[in-house]
Structure 1
Amino acid sequence: MSSFVIAAATSLLLASSVSAQKSLTAPKGADVLTVAVFGDYGWTGWIPAPDHFCLEVLPELQAANITIPNELVNDCDPGDKMYINNATALQTDTANYIGQVCTLKNCSAVVSVGDNFYDSGVDFTTGGILRFEEAWVNMYAQGIFSNLPWYQCLGNHDVVKGQAGVDFETKILPYYDDRWNFGTAGLPYWTYDLTGSNWTATFVVVDSDCFLSSYQKNTSVYYNEYTIGCHKNTSVQVDFLNTTFANSKADWKFLQLHHPYMSSATNQTDLAPLVEIVAAHNGIVLNGHDHCLGHYFNNNTNFILSGAAGYPQAGDCNNGMPLGPYAKFLAANNNTAANGLVTMDISSTSINVEYYVRDMLFINGDLYPVSHDLTPSYKFQITQKST
């Protein structure tokens, strides 16, 4: 029996204790319910490995065939080491911006699309608790955030520590802060409904890390006992999505995951079995991973990208230049991608999707000018209901 199946079975045995923790949920009965969608935010508090180790000691250890923990290799990532100071400031500024938008829009919940903690996730240690406090609890504590439920999802940076990191986010953190919602079974895949006065929306969360063949190479920092096990049993999550959508009579059906099937950087075609189910039910895909805001439309399916709550990267949205007819909106230019979020106003007749793009004004100039950044820079409406 694979480690993923064993872990799932163990989680089910522990479900009675996990479900004792009651996470906050969105209010029920509204004619229109507004949710904020964003991800790729958790930079604050990450301390990279020192240059001396990364540049001098690490190569010698590797040459000596000494096994280096994935976490340590990842904490030497030269790009992320370069980003960290700006990324921390940008997460803070964007958190304030999201708070302003959500106050204006009266957001009732956050739908997270993963990468909650850069660069190597968190686990059940003092260090993990301190990171959770700094990068999430205190970062999103004021104003409208104080009682806002977050429907959570894992990203690749969240699984670097393996099963220990996954368990910490899915099983432990809901006890630490009741806004952090990972369902009642403590699993990385789960489902929840948002219910209005005369409508229902079903969301299915999956861990897309399990599907990527690139993470199964032993050179990948995401290659560990957790991803090995769940990759062998991707059918568990495919069947979960298929069964949940088939049994749901909801007006709207969403797949919530981290990696993009449609992208201006890398199309993750390993996710095709999931996307085929979404298309069959006239569903909607919510994802992050690409550090920008975008809208794609393919095979009668809307793909909503909202990965711009931390360190934006123009290349992830091809500097704002659509590569084909599928890219309908990309919040990037040759200077930068813009920070921001997506809001969805859900009702019985439609979903109004709005992209709030932050004016990227800094001391050296305005890298992505937005004249009125508390109004949507782009929006579209979905009226075709799910089946």
Structure 2
Amino acid sequence: MSGFSNMFMKSILFTISFGLCVLYASAELHKFAHSSKHDGSLNFLVLGDWGRRGAYNQSEIAFQMGKVGEKLDIDFVVSTGDNFYDNGLTSDQDTAFEESFTNVYTAKSLQKQWYSVLGNHDYRGDVEAQLSPFLKQIDNRWLCLRSFIVDSELVEIFFVDTTPFVEKYFTETKHKYDWQGIIPQKSYITNLLKDLELAIKESTAQWKIVVGHHAIRSVGHHGDTQELIKQLLPILQENDVDFYMNGHDHCLEHISDTESSIQFLTSGAGSKAWRGDIQETNQGGLHFFYDGQGFMSVKLTQTDATIEFYDVSGNVLHRLTSSKNLRSSM
């Protein structure tokens, strides 16, 4: 089967299996339409680094997410990756999927679409298993792709597969990574960045959000991701991206970019946290850092964004508000 035919068949499979409206931003980035509310607003939760069969306060976080989700009448949930610990899924039959996802996020308000990217721990398992449409037959909330776009007209959210950017994963011997579909790495990243830049440039959404697993800026345990600073950040800065949201560091953070209006938001505290370290030399633009478990909510209208960080008890730890003028239709 030719490469074009193979891609066409995959597109048909995504359309049938996910039952969503699929548009096409480029050859590689599938675009999923997700309607805003009748008043034009949109609310969602952001969670990362969570899948531990309910342990390390994962279940407690899920409970509070349910309460906040109901209060905000959320439209969907965003996962910033590291969905299943320690080493991803072994297959699309792995019971960890239900034990860490279906059986944990049981609140009525969380029975909405989940949009998920892969983290480095997910790459230690069978990546194709997490991407498999079969998982949606087990739990119809699940949608995980390497890179894709969610378009609600009010906002476009660009999900980026960041693990292949990180060079150390290709050389370390402690863990084995599933690079099927990634090699050659350089070509994969080049094509992804080309498609992403084109999609962001063409976006007419009032808000532009990019989601990846790895932090661009972080004062947490892992710190900045130099490969993303070099290759991804310039694209975001040049194309009026409002927020970059990530996980990886098991904490909650808000850092302002010192060279643009981008706000870096870390929500990677869905289960195991409390590392107990902070990088004192990397605090430029830091507004908020919390070393414990928690999650994030996002409320968007045409002119205002409100982002709140919650701890394991549901307390609001930090609030970010941002306003902008209506984007011209010209």
State the TM bucket, normalised to the shorter chain: 0.7 to 0.9
CA contact (8 A) 1:23 1:174 kept: no
What residue in structure 2 maps to residue 268 of structure 1? 225
SS of equivalent residue, structure 2 residue 60: helix
Structure 2 residue 320 is matched with structure 1 residue 324:
no
Describe how 1:28-177 pairs up with structure 2 within 5 A. Answer: 28=36, 29-44=38-53, 88-124=55-91, 126=93, 128=94, 130-146=95-111, 148-161=112-125, 165-172=126-133, 173-177=135-139
- Please report how far the alpha carbon of residue 220 of structure 1 lies from its aligned counterpart in structure 2 after TM superposition: 4.8
Asked if 2 retains the 8 angstrom alpha-carbon contact of 1:290 and 1:316, the reply is no
Aligned runs of 1:1-387 on 2, under 5 Å?
A: 10-23=6-19, 26-28=34-36, 29-44=38-53, 88-124=55-91, 126=93, 128=94, 130-146=95-111, 148-161=112-125, 165-172=126-133, 173-182=135-144, 187-195=145-153, 200-226=154-180, 229=183, 231-232=185-186, 233-264=188-219, 265=221, 266-272=223-229, 273-283=231-241, 284-298=243-257, 299-300=259-260, 301-315=262-276, 317-318=278-279, 323-331=282-290, 337-359=291-313, 373-374=314-315, 376-384=316-324
Counterpart contact for 2:55–2:271, Cα < 8 Å: yes
1:64-104 CA-partner distances (Å, limit 9, x unpaired): xxxxxxxxxxxxxxxxxxxxxxx714111111111122222
SS in 2 for 1:20: helix
TM-score scaled by length of structure 1: 0.72
Match of 1:48 in 2: none
CA distance in 2, matches of 1:377, 1:92: 19
Pair 119,22 (structure 1): closer, same or farther in 2 beyond 3 Å: same
* Alpha-carbon shift at residue 230 of structure 1 (Å): 5.7
SS in 2 for 1:135: helix
Higher strand share: 2
Q: Matches of 2:281 and 2:17 in 1, distance apart?
A: 45
* Structure 1: distance between partners of 2:8 and 2:281: 44
Sequence identity of aligned pairs in percent? 25
| Corresponding residue SS for 1:377 | strand
Letter in 1 for 2:323: T
Give distance in 2, aligned partners of 1:317 and 1:384.
32
Superimposed CA distance per residue, residues 279-329 of structure 1 (whole angstroms, 9 cap, x where no aligned partner): 1122120100000100011122100100011111334655xx684232110
| Alignment coverage as a number of residue pairs | 305
Q: Give 3-state SS (helix, strand or coil) of 2:284's partner.
A: coil
CA distance in structure 1 between the partners assigned to 2:184 and 2:267 by the alignment? 25
Structure 2 unaligned regions, length at least 5: 21-32
User: Does structure 2 conserve the Cα–Cα contact (< 8 Å) formed by 1:292 and 1:317?
Assistant: no
**Deviations, residues 160-216 of structure 1 (Å, cap 9, x unaligned):** 12xxx222222332343221123xxxx411111124xxxx21111111011001111
Kindly provide the amino acid, as one letter, of the partner of residue 124 in structure 2.
Answer: V
Give the match for residue 24 of structure 2. Answer: none
Encode CA deviations 1:228-256: one digit per residue, 9 max, x unaligned: 61623201211121011011111111111
Call closer, same or farther: CA 1:98–1:316 in 2, change over 3 Å.
Answer: farther
Tell me by how many angstroms 1:11 deviates.
Answer: 4.9
More helix per residue: 1
Q: 1:218: how far off? A: 4.4
Query: What residue identity is the alignment partner of 1:378?
Result: H
| TM-aligned CA distance change 1:316 to 1:235, over 3 Å | farther
Q: Distance in 2 between matches of 1:26 and 1:138?
A: 25
What's the TM-score once normalised by structure 2's chain length? 0.84
Q: Match of 2:30?
A: none
Secondary structure, aligned partner of 1:202: strand
User: What's the CA shift for 1:30?
Assistant: 3.3
Gaps of 5+ in 1: 1-5, 45-86, 332-336, 360-372
Task: Report if aligned partners of 2:77, 2:110 keep a CA contact under 8 Å in 1.
Answer: no
- Per the alignment, residue 363 of structure 1 pairs with none
